[in-house]
Amino acid sequence: MRNIVILVGSMRKGGNTDLLARRFAEGAAEHNHVGIISAADCRVSPCIGCNTCFTREDHACFNHDDMDMIYEKLRRADVLVIASPVYFYGISAELKAIIDRLHTPMRSSFAIRKTALLLVGAASLPNLFDPILLQYQMILDFFHLQDCGKVLVRGVKDRGDIIGHPALDEAYRLGLSIE
C-alpha cells in the first residue's frame, strides 16, 4: 500500500481538474491511501530564493504558511500526482508556487520516488501539453523520479465539460494501476 498525494492546481473547485483528480483518487484508493490537496484551499507565498532552506534543519522554509501542512503530508508520501488546468500553456500559478517551495525538501528529505500527471485544457491542439510535458520530464530527470502515467484531456473548457469524457475512466484505471 502506497501513500499517494494529489496536488490539484485549479482554483475552480468542482471544475474539470477536480473531477479528473477525484476519479483518479477513486481508483488509487482501492489499494492505497490517497490524500488530495487543493491549491484553492491553500495560501502559499512564492519562493523568494533566499536559499536558507539549504542549511536549515529539516530543510524547512523560513516562511510558515499553508506549505507547513503540505510539507507534512508530502513527507509521508511515496507518490505525488500533479493535476492542473492549462493556463497559458503552463500549469496554474498557484500550483507552480507550491512546487517551487518543494525544491529543497524534494531533493533532501522526501521519500517520493514516483509521480503522475493529470492535465486539462480548453484547446484541441495536438501540441497543447508539450510545454508542460517537457518541464515535467526535466523535473523527473533532475530528481530521479519515475513516471507512473499521464492523463491529458483536451477540449474541456467550462466547469463540468469533462463529465462523461472517457478520460475519467482512464484516470480511474491509472489510479487503480498504482500499487
Ligand X SMILES: Cc1cc2nc3c(=O)[nH]c(=O)nc-3n(C[C@H](O)[C@H](O)[C@H](O)COP(=O)(O)O)c2cc1C
Q: Does 17 bind ligand X (CB under 6 A)?
A: yes
Q: Does 10 bind ligand X (CB under 6 A)?
A: yes
Within a 10 A sphere around the Cβ of 56, how many other Cβ atoms?
A: 12
Q: Is the dihedral of CA 100, 140, 129, 3 positive or negative?
A: negative
Give whichever of 53 and 174 is closer to ligand X, judged by the CB atom.
174
Q: Does 87 bind ligand X (CB under 6 A)?
A: yes
Whether 39 contacts 10, CB under 8 Å = yes
Q: Does 149 bind ligand X (CB under 6 A)?
A: no
From candidates 27, 105, 121, 149, binder to ligand X by CB under 6 A: 121
Which grid cell sits at 71? 510539507
Q: Does 38 bind ligand X (CB under 6 A)?
A: no
Q: Does 89 bind ligand X (CB under 6 A)?
A: yes
Q: Is 40 left (phi over 0), alpha (psi -120 to 50) or beta?
A: alpha
Distance CA 14, CA 101 (A): 25
Q: Does 157 bind ligand X (CB under 6 A)?
A: yes
Whether 39 contacts 114, CB under 8 Å = no
38 forms beta bridges with 8
Minimal distance, residue 45 CB to ligand X, in Å: 20
Whether 82 contacts 106, CB under 8 Å = no
Give whichever of 55 and 127 is closer to ligand X, judged by the CB atom.
127
Of 47-55, 102-110, 121-129, 138-146, the window that binds ligand X (rule: CB under 6 A) is 121-129
Of 12-20, 37-45, 63-71, 144-152, the window that binds ligand X (rule: CB under 6 A) is 12-20
Please report, as ranges, the residues that interact with ligand X according to CB under 6 A. 10, 12, 15-18, 85-89, 120-123, 128, 156-157, 159
